[in-house]
Every structure is written in structure tokens, then in C-alpha cells.
Amino acid sequence: MVPLRPLMFGEIMDGAFKTIRRNPKAMLGAGLVAQALGAVIAGVVPVFTPASDASAEAWLANLSNSEMTSLFAGVAGGFVLFGLVTVFISVVMQGAMVVPVARSILNRQTGFRQMWLLARGRAWALVRLAGIGVAAVLLGGALIALATVLLANSMGTGSLVIVLPLFLAFIAAMIWVSVKLTVAPAVIVVEDVGAMDGIRRSWAVTRRSWWRVFGIVLVVSLLVGIIGQIVLIPLTLLTGLLASVAGPQDPAGQAAALQVVVGVATAIVSAAVGAVAFAFQTSVMALLYMDLRMRNDGLDIALLRLLETGHDDGGIPGRGVPVYTPGRNGAGPHQSWPYHQGPYQPGPHQAGPYGNSAGWPPPPGPPTMPG
């Protein structure tokens, strides 16, 4: 599927498409599961909302202050809960979808059931990884909010001079850390480690590759976002066309029915587009991880040996391959590691470091003159 050597950008992109085509049930099925919650909410919300702006204003005008506060608190809490559930599901799905990508490198197909059987042992570790990420973001956001309130109370509008750079620094730190931890789900599944070990390994394996990982992730995100918007443009135009031709006999009822139909259609199309986009982004992430391990650990050599055997043990390729630790040995994976070279030791009939043959006495010195 991809060359068994450190990969170029085009090879990673091509490999991601090939993985989806080779394992459609596993990749698109997991992508649909990840998008299902958002699709359900997107399709159900229009049913419980007013059909027009006028009816929405009238509905809100009849609410008391306490009801309005409760409404907005409930809506905000619902969005937060939805966001948290989406994050947890996405991380677990990302980890599971690494399995078919890793197996596709050796031209091995993977079904949806086999993917889950191989990844389910790491599900709780992936959940803990998502929890650590969410907690870190919430803690950082709370600290920024607290600092903003304290500075605003003490300095007034002058606090913007401090708050704005502080906020930008927080955003930059989030981007930097998220890139460092991009391959953490793949580490947890392939290397069979826990959440904290996965974070440490992802941090180590992206060393000296931050800008490369950032560039690939940025390009893929922009590509997926642009294509997704282009696909949804016809549906948006169709929505406006149907709204303009609705009959005047029962405008409220027709508007409500139209909103439900459009909401369901939008949910289905968005789920399909989101599933493909999610599968593609996850495939790129998994191939990035395999590429980094080829560069750092010599994983390509181990994969070539597996490919030569022609035997499929049904496992995850790359699991159990030794991890290169720079502090333990100074050579790279394609140099002397893991073979440690000691001091020079000549054989019994080889020349020594100074031209003498080992195991033989040194040649006699120059003749001396008789006294």
C-alpha cells in the first residue's frame, strides 16, 4: 500500500485513500459511528425549535427571566455535554481505526469486527487520554478566565494589553501541544501502552518533526474543510429554493415540515461527508505515526521481515518492535543500533591497531652492536 521506508507527503495522502478503499467497512463504519451523535442532534433539533424567526421571537418573549436563565443554562450545558461526548467518541474511534491502517501497510484487510477485537483492550486507555486532554483544556481556559477577571477588576480597559497576549499565548501553546500529541491514540493501540505512556511516547516520537507534522495536519484539515463545504453547497441552495416555493395556504405547517426534511437530509449528508473526512484524517494520523517510527525506530525493517514471511497472525503490525531511546544509545535506528560496538578486538590472525598480528609475538627490535 505504501513503500516500507520513511514516507513523503504525497505517499501519506495516497496511502490514506488506499486504506479507505481497501477497508471500507472498518474505516467508514467507524467514521459513521463517530458522526452518528452529531447527525442525530442535527436532525432532531429542528423538530423542537420554532419554525420561523417570528415564532421564535414570540416564544422567547413569553418566557420569564428565570425561565430564560434556565433555558440558556440548559442549552449551554447541552452543548458542553455534546462536545465532551464527541471528543471521547472521536478519540476512541481514532485509536480503533489505527488497526486497519497498520495492517494495510502489509496488504492485510481488516473488517469492522476484527478492528474492534484488536482495539477494544485499549479503549479505556483512549478514554483516559481524552479525559486528560479535556481536563487540560478546561483547566487552562479557567486560568485564563480567572486572570482576565482579576486584571479587569484591577486595571479596567488597560488589562487588554496583558489579556490579549496571554490569550494568544494560550492558543499557541494549545496548538503546539496538540501537534506533539497528534499520534498519541496510535501509540496507545499499536504499542499497547497506557494513556500517560502514550503521551510520553507521542511527545518523544515527534521530536525534531514538529513542523513537518504541523504542516501535514494543517494541509489535511484545510483540504477536508474546503471539500466538505463544497459538497454541502448544493444542499444549501436546495434549502433556499424549497423555502421560496412553499405554498401560502399553510405557511407555518409547511415551514415546519420543510425544516424537518431539510434537517434530516442535512444530517445524513453531513454524516456521510464527516465519516469520509474523519476516516481520511485518522488514516493520515496513523500513517504519520508509522512514518515517524520508521524514521526513529527502524520499524520499516521489522515490517519488511513480517512481509517476507507472508504469514498473517491476525495481530497489529508494529506491536512488540523495540523502541529506540536516544539516551540509551547514540546511533540512529539505521546505523549501529541495536548492535553496540565496543573497542577494537582483532581476530587471532588479523592485524592489530598498530600493524601487529594478534596472537603472535612482536617482531624483534633492531640489531645491537657488540660491546
The string over 217-253, giving b where at least 16 C-beta atoms fall within 10 Å of a residue's C-beta and e elsewhere, is beebeeebeeeeeeeeeeeeeebeeeeeeeeeeeeee
Pair 289, 187: CB distance under 8 Å: yes
Most confident of 52-61, 202-211, 321-330: 202-211
Decide if 22 contacts 109 (C-beta within 8 A). yes
Chain centre distance of CA 84: 16
Distance CA 160, CA 191 (A): 46
The mean pLDDT of the chain is 79
For the beta carbon of residue 360, count every other beta carbon within 10 angstroms.
10
pLDDT for the residue numbered 330: 45
Q: How far apart are CA 61 and CA 75, in angstroms?
A: 17
DSSP 313-364: -SS-TTTTPPPP-TTT-SS-TTTTTTS---S----TTSB-TTSPBTTSPPPP
4 and 303 Cβ atoms separated by less than 8 Å:
yes
Show the DSSP H helices in 156-207 as ranges: 160-180, 184-190, 195-205
* Residue keyed to cell 502489509: 106
Q: Are 246 and 258 contacting, i.e. CB atoms less than 8 angstroms apart?
A: yes
Q: pTM for this one?
A: 0.77
Highest mean pLDDT among 181-195, 323-337, 347-361: 181-195
- Using one digit for the tens of pLDDT, what is the confidence trace for 111-139? 999 999 999 999 999 999 999 999 999 99
**Do residues 310 and 272 lie in contact, with contact meaning Cβ atoms separated by under 8 Å?**
no
Q: What would the mean pLDDT of 14-32 be, rounded to a whole number?
A: 91
What pLDDT does 58 receive? 58
What confidence score (pLDDT) does residue 32 get?
85
Q: What is the pLDDT of residue 262?
A: 72
Instruction: Indicate if the pLDDT at residue 86 is higher than 60.
Output: yes
pLDDT band at 308; cut points 50, 70, 90 = confident
Distance from chain centroid for Cα 235: 29
What is the predicted pLDDT for the residue at 251? 56
Query: Which residues does 269 contact at the CB level (< 8 Å), separation at least 6?
Result: 231, 232, 235
Residues 206, 112 contacting (CB under 8 angstroms):
no
Residue with cell 483492550: 121
What is the C-alpha separation between 85 and 130, in angstroms, rounded? Answer: 10
Instruction: Say what the pLDDT of residue 353 is.
Output: 47
pLDDT reading at 331 higher than 50: no
Indicate if the pLDDT at residue 297 is higher than 60: yes
CA distance 166 to 151: 11
Residue boundaries of the structural domains of the chain: 9-119+211-309
Task: Assess contact for 136 and 352: CB atoms under 8 A.
Answer: no
217-273 pLDDT, tens digit per residue, is 999 999 999 988 888 888 777 766 766 665 555 555 566 667 677 777 777 888 888
Determine the pLDDT at residue 224.
92
**All cell numbers assigned to 2:** 505504501
What is the tens place of the pLDDT at every residue in 167-187? Answer: 899 999 999 999 999 999 999
189: Cβ contacts below 8 Å, ≥ 6 apart: 95, 96, 98, 99, 119, 122, 126, 316
